[in-house]
């Protein structure tokens, strides 16, 4: 472990020494100019994990973005659908997990701050102490960051698998698998950060850091919950349950009325167009954690591509 730590520190030291002797010129430092009115992003490799509800675990693709009506007023959207759900592996009738949310955001505060921004110049593999390390040559350049702070809210819907692990009725019928569709409202805080810094570095040419970040924290209140049995009971005559039956009342009786949830997350997306960065697309990502009604603690996230930024 000590050797690994020393190797990593040595790699970082080598990188920082390289970066200190590079001359550069700032050619653009105007993130406010490139606040995208329309941003469309796709997550092409995401995983959604629920700690106690194993039926809800899935691999997914997703799309997210925003449309700004003004500089401080806009709408946001997020859609997610599974490509491989654990609950469907052993039960083909299980619902494929899906999620959707859409709402409005209002930025109440806006300010521009200068801070050190990391601009990557080159990444390469190096052999240090008989170990392969990735060395990134970079510059720390003072640049402008536009900071927005505000509120947001909207409609939220989730469809996923549900594990009937408790309840005397379900144990009697020997059933464990159900699907649920929850619909509700979310409301919370949002903080957006934008940076667009382009430099000409000696020996490396044009390099840039052009990114947007949305940090959010929401409370969720469910106003509609529906549960459907996705398994044929082994004791149907004793339990009165059948496959495909609406068991919403039975679930609420066994698990209680669970309507509150909470989530925090971050969206990362590209902001400047191709004529600035030289790239039509770029990497985006979404990571989120929270407590969902009936699902419990969950963690999800993935990376993808910014498809549209204008």
In tens, the pLDDT along 134-188 reads 677 888 889 999 999 999 999 999 999 888 876 566 766 677 788 899 999 999 9
75-97 pLDDT tens trace: 999 999 999 988 888 788 888 89
What confidence category does residue 238 fall into, taking pLDDT thresholds of 50, 70 and 90?
A: low
Higher pLDDT, 19 or 22: 22
Element (H, E) at 87: helix 86-89
Scanning 168-273, the segments in alpha helix (DSSP H) are: 168-173, 236-239, 248-255
The residue-averaged pLDDT of 280-309 equals 92
What confidence category does residue 256 fall into, taking pLDDT thresholds of 50, 70 and 90?
A: confident
* Chain centre distance of CA 248: 30
* Chain centre distance of CA 57: 15
Whole-Å CA distances, 110 to 36, 37, 38, 52, 298 = 16, 16, 19, 40, 32
Supply the pLDDT for residue 287.
Answer: 97
pTM equals 0.84
Q: What is the DSSP letter of 130?
A: T
CA distance 138 to 20: 9
Contacts of 94 (CB under 8 A, 6+ apart): 55, 85, 87, 88, 161, 177, 179, 230
Residue whose pair of structure tokens reads 């859609």 in the numeric block: 79
Mean pLDDT, the chain, integer: 85
CB contact at 8 A, 145 and 113: yes
SS3 89: helix
The residue-averaged pLDDT of 258-270 equals 94
Q: Which of 20, 29, 24 is nearest to 203 (CA)?
A: 24
């Amino acid at each position: 472990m000590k050797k690994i730590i020393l190797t990593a520190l040595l790699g970082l030291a080598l990188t920082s020494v390289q970066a200190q002797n590079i001359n550069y010129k700032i050619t653009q430092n105007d993130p406010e100019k490139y606040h995208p009115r329309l941003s469309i992003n796709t997550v092409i490799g995401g995983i959604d994990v629920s700690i106690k509800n194993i039926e809800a675990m899935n691999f997914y693709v997703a799309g997210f973005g925003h449309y700004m009506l003004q500089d401080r007023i806009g709408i946001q959207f997020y859609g997610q659908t599974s490509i491989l759900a654990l609950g469907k592996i052993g039960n083909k009738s299980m619902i494929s997990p899906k999620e959707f949310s859409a709402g409005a955001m209002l930025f109440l505060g806006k300010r521009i701050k200068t801070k050190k921004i990391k601009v990557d110049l080159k990444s390469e593999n190096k052999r240090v102490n008989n170990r392969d390390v990735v060395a990134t040559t970079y510059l720390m350049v003072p640049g402008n960051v536009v900071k927005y702070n505000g509120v947001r809210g909207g409609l939220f819907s989730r469809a996923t698998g549900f594990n009937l692990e408790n309840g005397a009725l379900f144990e009697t019928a020997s059933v464990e698998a159900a699907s649920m569709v929850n619909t509700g409202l979310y409301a919370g805080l949002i903080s957006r950060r934008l940076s667009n810094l382009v430099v000409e570095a000696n020996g490396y040419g044009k390099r840039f850091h052009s990114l947007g970040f949305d940090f959010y924290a929401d409370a969720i209140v469910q106003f509609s919950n529906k549960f459907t049995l996705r398994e044929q009971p082994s004791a149907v005559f004793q339990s009165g349950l059948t496959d495909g039956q609406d068991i919403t009342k039975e679930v609420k009786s066994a698990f209680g009325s669970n309507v509150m949830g909470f989530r925090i997350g971050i969206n990362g997306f590209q902001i400047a167009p191709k004529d600035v960065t030289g790239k039509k697309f770029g990497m985006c990502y979404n990571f989120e954690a929270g407590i969902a009604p009936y699902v419990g603690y969950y963690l999800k996230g993935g990376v993808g591509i910014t498809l549209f930024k204008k």
